[in-house]
Amino acid sequence: MKNQVQLITYVDRLTAGGFSDLKALVDGPLKGVIGGVHPLPFFDPIDGADAGFDPIDHTLVDRRLGDWNDVRALSASVDIMADMIVNHVSANSPAFRDFLDKGEASGFADMFLTFGKVFPNGASEDDLLAIYRPRPGFPFTKMTFGDGSKRLIWTTFTPQQIDIDVFSQHGAAYLDAILNRFKQGGVTAIRLDAAGYAIKKPGTSSFMIPETYAFLGELADKARSLGMEVLVEIHSYYRDQIDIARKVDRVYDFALPPLVLHALFTGEAGPLAEWLKISPRNAITVLDTHDGIGVIDVGAATDGRPGLLPPAALDALVETMHERSGGESRQATGAAASNLDLYQVNCTYYDALGKRDGEYLIARALQFFAPGIPQVYYVGLLGGVNDMDLLARTKVGRDINRHYYTPAEVTAALEKAVVRRLFELARFRNTHPAFGGDFAVEQPSASRLVLSWTQGDEQASLDVDFKSATASITHRGAGGEGHFVVG
């Protein structure tokens, strides 16, 4: 993966078209701004129960976006990352429909996880309470089979997303087919989505257990043998994230978004400084994604170990997001908007900061200087605001940050001052040689942070004072010296 700013986007929601339109953007106004693209699930269909994360056919491009030839054409312009959804398939997939119709007589019966398959000797209360799930309740859905019988099917996320047995003959073949299709399609990196839930074992949490690490290691080896790098997507306690990072190619730095907000809200640089001293260096850094702004990643562990922020600071962080967004994020978070995730606030990052251009650009500069490779969500790239109309139509909290742009809206966004300044920051991050060197973080005062990159005579430093919400970048090297204000 190029050490440059990456774009993560729904193809149709950014372009109002398909892959050919995305390529036109990449080769046009985004040229030099991004070095790679992560198109969010573009498989058949893109508009299922979970915005593409419940594919019926993971090896088929939704024809509304184009086909694999269009994907390969985009890969000639930028590197491409694709989602490999290892935990589940759509309830409408042919394999599951066959299983539901024929039961154990189905040729795909081995591919799916029933309660009895995971707990052949039954489950105790402790067994069930040990299961980790990011949403309320247990991960089972009662379903009726063709003969009228009823069984409990393991569904970690929703009843439309059916968990698969990754060790079964058909489950393993399914995953291998996806890897081979990606290789043929010009994909050079994959994100293992919901990977932490892939292995179920009685008496455990069935989340990131030792068997999960082993499975992910084997899957990553297969991907690497095909020339693809592997990113694992997991929200978890920060110490666990550091441990996970030692075992995989790349992880997300999900602690960064709330810590940056905390620093900008309070003027306190300490928690962010401490995290940047120990954060995984093989990270993909983010501020916003297609999901909400996570808080579990800076909170306490389930066993009581303290988090990066104490509970009172975490509560204040969430309330300040709600306040700065004018209450819009509150309408999109929790049961009020059918958002059952326990650890996310739904809001654009721009709105979470109260649409304050200066603070938004400081936040992006911090992301670009933090250890790892920065990835920017399409709404954030365009300085987008909360889509309250879409939220009202769908009643799905995360849709507040999943706007469908028209070409005219994209053109208008590209002319906004905050977007132009963001693009300048991205081009600087993409081209300055210092970012290929060594990272250092200093905290000269309680409210100030200095992040520096050095490679030989090349150096770039970001100096932020959170109390005054001011920042500047100083750089030197073969191209000369320079200094400019952020924001």
Q: Residue 193 catalytic?
A: yes
Query: Residue 372: phi, psi to the nearest 5?
Result: 125, -170
Determine whether the annotation assigns residue 342 to a binding site: yes
Give the list of residues 6+ apart from residue 277 with CB closer than 8 angstroms, or none: 441
User: Burial, 387: exposed, middle or buried (Cβ in 10 Å; 0-12, 13-18, 19+)?
Assistant: buried
d(CA 68, CA 207): 33
Determine whether the annotation assigns residue 343 to a binding site: yes
Closest CA to 292 of 327, 323, 321: 321
Marked catalytic residue, from 44, 70, 229, 233: 233
Q: How far is CA 301 from the centre of its chain?
A: 21
Determine whether the annotation assigns residue 455 to a binding site: no
d(CA 403, CA 406): 10
Q: What is the DSSP string of 269-331?
A: -HHHHHHHHHS-TTEEE-S--SS-EE-GGGS--TTS---SS-HHHHHHHHHHHHHHTTTHHHH
| Residue 52 identity | G
Determine whether the annotation assigns residue 324 to a binding site: no
Token duo for residue 158: 């929703």
DSSP 142: E
Token duo for residue 148: 């009228």
Which H or E element spans position 26? helix 19-27
Determine whether the annotation assigns residue 181 to a binding site: no
Determine whether the annotation assigns residue 404 to a binding site: no
Q: Are 53 and 86 in contact (CB under 8 A)?
A: no
311: preceding bond cis by omega (within 30 degrees) = no
d(CA 216, CA 198): 9
Determine whether the annotation assigns residue 237 to a binding site: no
Marked catalytic residue, from 44, 165, 193, 328: 193
The strand pair at 43-44 and 57-61 is best described as antiparallel
Which H or E element spans position 484? strand 482-486
Determine whether the annotation assigns residue 398 to a binding site: yes
Determine whether the annotation assigns residue 252 to a binding site: no
- Give me the residues paired with residue 90 across strands: 161
Determine whether the annotation assigns residue 170 to a binding site: no
Token duo for residue 430: 């993409």
Task: Look at residue 471 and give its three-state secondary structure.
Answer: strand
Q: Are 188 and 228 in contact (CB under 8 A)?
A: yes
Q: How far is CA 99 from the centre of its chain?
A: 31
Q: Are 309 and 263 in contact (CB under 8 A)?
A: no
Determine whether the annotation assigns residue 375 to a binding site: no
Give the list of residues 6+ apart from residue 120 with CB closer than 8 angstroms, or none: none
d(CA 472, CA 462): 6
Determine whether the annotation assigns residue 233 to a binding site: yes
3-state helix, strand, coil in the chain (%, to 5): 40, 20, 40
Q: Residue 233 catalytic?
A: yes
- Give me the residues paired with residue 463 across strands: 450, 472
Determine whether the annotation assigns residue 79 to a binding site: no
Binding-site annotation, residues: 50, 88, 191-193, 233, 290-291, 341-344, 398
Residue stretches of the annotated binding site for substrate:
50, 191-193, 233, 290-291, 341-344, 398
Residue ranges for the binding site for sucrose?
88
Positions marked active-site: 193, 233
